[in-house]
Structure 1
Amino acid sequence: MPAAADPIAHAEDLADLVAASPSALHAAAEVARRLETQGFTRLAEGDAWPTAPGAYLVVRDGAAIAWIVPASASATTPVRILGAHTDSPGFTVKPQPTTGRLGWLQAGVEVYGGPLLNSWLDRELRLAGRLVLDDGAEVLVASGPMLRLPQLAIHLDRSANEGLTLDRQAHTQPVWGLGSPESADLIGEMAGIAGVDVARVRGYDLSVADAARGAVFGKDDAFFASGRLDDLASVHAGVVALGAVADGFDADHIPLLAIFDHEEIGSETRTGAAGPFLDEVLERIGVALGATREERMRAMTSSWHVSSDVGHSVHPNYPEKHDPVVRPLLGSGPILKINANQRYATDGAGSAAWRGWSDAAGVPVQEFVSNNTVPCGSTIGPITATRLGIRTVDVGIPILSMHSARELAGVADLAGLTRVAEAFYRG
């Protein structure tokens, strides 16, 4: 049975992945866990890697790369990469985070990326990430509902519905208890959840996530709402598709899933798409196949990278913000993202290839292009194309409420993206 044959079950499985992935670190760990249950062997970067064909994965903090080397692979075998990212806009915990006043305990947080700040108000929120101990051990930790950003009542701000303005420092520090900062310890709370002595904690990377589970709803169950759809929807599509082709895979290319951290803040980190992680893994795959530098370069010329990230569905309340002709609609198929200034890496060859994979999967294609008066965002696609010279096409699913604490996707699009990803991997 092909991946995502049941769109509702597929969306519920995405809800499971999101719930298990409140931070980028958790997302990489969850992808590794899922693939290991399907026979992938996890490798350590500091170890010698096997040269035999097989299914492998490696995790670097909040990034992970998984691939399948078929028995027929040679030094010039090309790679088919599906790339996505594990981070989402929101908040991260600052140093000395236990704050508060007037009898309230608050968490000191810093804005991460470009979230819709108002969407984080009046929601139950989680803390998640890792604690680094005195011996260098790293412990993943995630709370249940723990924090909240309470909005000021309308009675105290009669103009709130005319234009809400949030100060990124003063108005974004969530409450998490009652008392004085001297009598509480936020990191101690997280250490208790993790089951470790807070005295051993020497460092941490913690972020805030919506605590509500993803849900299918609407007429004919058309909608799926969840936190972190940007870009866990693509991460989920990639891991399901790669797992679907793993059993007995033998084709003339190497299917590879690359999920990166820090896309929302520019990707220029050791675990971001602009960093060395993917290039290093590709080089080590080539070494295992006995490839010379020339042979590796030959392999790259016939390789493909599908950069998968969310894009904008036409919004019924703001149609003027979209192109007047090209108007992708949530629920009508994955999108092919095009930009003349190469904010997306799609060209004519990429468009043709994506349509071919979509036709093979029986999935409709929509195009996306920005209104000329609205600046266009970007993705990991141009970064990877620039770093590695691999032909790249930018795609994704259309959503509403992008960068909200809870975004809106189409159930059919989630399943469709996964089916096209599987067709791409199968070739």
Structure 2
Amino acid sequence: MKEPQLRVGIMYEPKISFTLNGIYILQQNGEEYTGKQTASYINDKIAFDGLVDEELIFYPKFYEEGSFDLFDVTIGIKFHWERKEDQRFKGALHFICEDEKLTAINVLSLEDYLVSVISSEMSATSSMELLKAHAIISRSWLIAQVIKGAELKKSETNYQSIAETDEEYIRWYDREDHVNFDVCADDHCQRYQGITKQSTKLVVDAIEATRGLVLTSEGEVCDARFSKCCGGVAETFENVWEPENHKYLQAVIDNPKIPAGYDMNLENEEAAVKWIRTSPEAFCNTTDKEILSQVLNDYDQETMDFYRWEVSYTQGEISELIERKTGKEFGQIIDLIPVERGESGRLIKLKILGTKRSLVIGKELEIRKVLSESHLYSSEFVVDRVGEENGIPAKFILKGAGWGHGVGLCQIGAAVMGANGYSHKEILLHYFKGASLEKRY
């Protein structure tokens, strides 16, 4: 296998300004360009320098020397810390038309992409063993996505991620958002901010030391997922995404031993309630700022209550929020009722009971979207109804655990393991049970 070339979707706007640093050649006319440029969407075509075409491909005359800047790139799309940044990228720049906008796609080699991802996902000053572990899972996930995308194209089947009846709305979010490139640049895929984030020799060394190394299971490259904080137990893949079992993405207790005094059958409501309302020992249960700074960038450190958290809504706030997010009129909200939990205690299905209607929603990200202006930290929560009058609560308090979907590697747990002397192989095999390490190129 050769090192793959990747297509990464960066931004989506009707008009995109960019600067070419070094000499770039436009494939459509063979001309050389450098400096500040602008491309615009016009009637399903791209207007640039007197050209009107369906796509534009700028590639650097000298790959190692060329880079380009994109301005006002939105990062953290629909997350609580969403903001805009100017970003710089290595490799080629490809513009296409999608949804009456331009899509800017960065085309570059996989290993160059990883240098940025590791520096964007976490601090470039993290421990070497954590960086090696993250390089391997990021590389594995990416190759698995490229393979999966190619298989979906070949099969020509319509990828389904919504199941809807009058009583239920179940949706998961994975492949359907981008069919014209391999991955997006935001947290929906892997956080990628080009060469904007300052990398270090440590990151480059970690990637070089693991070059071509991936996690495999039964000969296939693992779809190696990760999230910020599992809340003490990692979740199984099929409870978050499509109903497909992966042997290496199962529930994992993020602790060398089972915490004393807990029933770990967290699909059981009583066991889940005790687990979420308390703070059991786990690798990811840490307040060590030095360790957390390895995983949490500046804007991530605005969030420090990730292991156990709490949000509250008045009756007016929650009824308005749910109606706006679902597009359905529930009236006043009477209750939020757990219907089904996964093995980590995360809600897979939640029943919203209102005075005008009720509906069961899922999976975890849909629940997080409906109950927050951006996203709840996770779907692992319990609900307290406060100030009930005539069966209608005045307030809802959600007490929760973890940050993210919780499947696969827990970044904060892995950072603690690295700080405690675990090797990258030990970290990986803790979270991906039964997987193997294999060099593919």
Normalized against structure 1, the TM-score is what? Answer: 0.27
Bigger proportion of residues as strand: 2
Greater relative contact order (CA < 8 Å, ≥ 6 in sequence): 1
Normalized against structure 2, the TM-score is what? Answer: 0.26
